[in-house]
Homo-oligomer: A and B are copies of this chain.
Amino acid sequence: MRQARQIKLGAFLMTDGHHIAGWRHARATANANVRPDHFLRLARIAEAAKFDAIFLSDSLGVRDTNLDSVHRTSRHVGFEPLTLLSALSVVTHNIGLIGTASTSFNEPFHVARKFASLDLLSGGRAGWNLVTSSGEEEARNFNLDHHIPHAERYDRAREFLQVVKGLWDSWEDDAFLRDKVSGTNFDPRKLHVLDHRGRHFSVRGPLNVARSPQGHPVVVQAGASEDGRDLAVASAEAIFCAHRTLAEARAFYADIKTRADRAGRNPDHVKIMPGVFPVIGRTETEAREKFEELQSLIHPAVGLQLLSTVMGVGDLTGYDLDGPLPDLPETNGPKSRQQLVLDAARRDNLTIRQLYLSIAGARGHWQVVGTAEQIADALEERFVREGADGFNIMAPHLPGGLEDFIDDVVPILRKRGLFRSEYEGTTLRENLGLPFPRQPAERSGVSSVAAE
């Protein structure tokens, strides 16, 4: 009997919460970014609730240009994701461990190795969220004065991924014999040298980590641009995306599934998991009050910086917070979002304060404020109407916000048959319903040369 399609759930653990002022909330761990026990608790409650995975984002620098804003936020420092996930791997048993690593500021050998190692440590629960990075402040920590252009980053990312997957295939599944009596540790015919020589990388291999339980850790991507979609359709097994409306979500979902089908992949093997930022109350009014409480914790310096970033302008300090947005010069920032914000400001006569509050919160992700039933309804609709295969839960503050979702929303989804009561398997692949990767059928035992 085929299992009915069910919602996949990830817990996106942004340290103390996804709301920009979440760290100030009474139920947030204010020093979460130096407390492994905070993350251990989160991983354990998500696992007890049968979440598919926890998810850690990453950046490789501190965006410290506006110190007046930055020093009022908690986003600037944290654990390095692979070290943190490795720590969590030995104190959890079923939940997937998805970490972010940049293809722009790493070497494929290191990335292949670390995720294979995490996959072994966790018994097959590792996932790699591939990003190309986008911050100037990151480039400056890696010998560059400016960031690599978008197209160049994606060209590098494609080759990077090809090398990583090749390295993961260094050892066949049954290469290791470890026969003490005969003294044969592995079958030398089942060791493969990659010998990759490409535009960005020369990597001989083989990888010095044994074949890991999943064969390949699960590959996740987030890019929504054309290049990002192309790369995702070619190789991602899950996509973390941001859509505010059902229409947007459905359009993205249909586009990716169609492209995957056209590329000869099974569309079921590309899981689409948008972020959702839930604020839960016993009544809708209580939920709105909870949200307003969070919003009231945003310091104006932080709100103005947020608005400046979105509008692509340098500084809005000095303007009356409770007055209208001034006329702004044309910029070369992302036009569409700027225009949306401008239109809203003019249409609704919003003050600067109202404007920054309107874009704070879920950071472009889907924001649902209501009762547990209402939130379950919204998730069900988006899932059933093919806007998502699952969701990445972005709790406003942590651990409290995740606890609320698990206590209040998950049981409703479960009662409706929309979410599991037990893990289907022991690996992240098995729980997400992804196939075990087959190894290349034809290879020389000594060397196989990749495309130039």
Contacts and interface: CB of A to CB of B under 8 A. Distances in A.
A126 B325 CA distance: 50
Nearest to A205: B141
A319 interface: no
Given A185-B73, A193-B64, A33 B210 contact: yes
A77 B143 contact: no
Contacts of A184: 71-72
A23 interface: yes
Interface stretch (A109-117, A239-247, A339-347, A370-378): A109-117
A143 B87 contact: no
Contacts of A73: 185
B77 A171 contact: yes
A297 B179 CA distance: 12
B118 A180 contact: no
Interface string A288-304: 00000000010100000
A114 B185 contact: no
Interface in A7-38: 21, 23-26, 28, 30-31, 33-34, 36
Nearest to A144: B202
Given A90-B90, A109-B141, A193-B64, A78 B209 contact: yes
Contacts of A88: 90
Interface string A108-148: 01100110111011000000000000000100111111000
Contacts of A59: 208
Nearest to A72: B183
A191 interface: yes
A155 B75 CA distance: 35
A345 to B, nearest CB: 25
Interface in A199-255: 201-210
Nearest to A81: B117
A450 interface: no
Counting chain A residues whose Cβ lies within 8 A of the other chain, the interface size class is 35 or more
A263 interface: no
A80 B121 CA distance: 10
A76 B106 CA distance: 23
A82 interface: yes
A68 to B, nearest CB: 8
A62 interface: yes
A201 B209 CA distance: 29
Contacts of A180: 23-26, 28, 30
A431 interface: no
B185 A79 contact: no
A285 interface: no
A76 to B, nearest CB: 6
A31 B176 contact: yes
A90 B30 contact: no
A68 B188 CA distance: 8
Contacts of A109: 60, 105, 141-142
Across the A-B interface, give the 8 residue pairs with the lowest CB-CB distance, nearest first. Answer: A86-B86, A80-B117, A140-B204, A83-B86, A71-B188, A83-B117, A30-B178, A67-B188
Given A70-B188, A72-B184, A82-B86, 14 more contacts: A31-B178, A36-B90, A36-B120, A61-B204, A68-B188, A73-B185, A76-B186, A76-B208, A80-B114, A82-B82, A105-B109, A109-B141, A141-B204, A142-B203
25 contacts: A23-B178, A24-B180, A25-B180, A31-B176, A34-B120, A61-B204, A71-B185, A71-B187, A72-B184, A74-B178, A77-B207, A78-B208, A79-B209, A80-B117, A80-B209, A83-B114, A83-B121, A86-B86, A87-B89, A87-B90, A105-B107, A109-B142, A141-B203, A142-B203, A144-B202
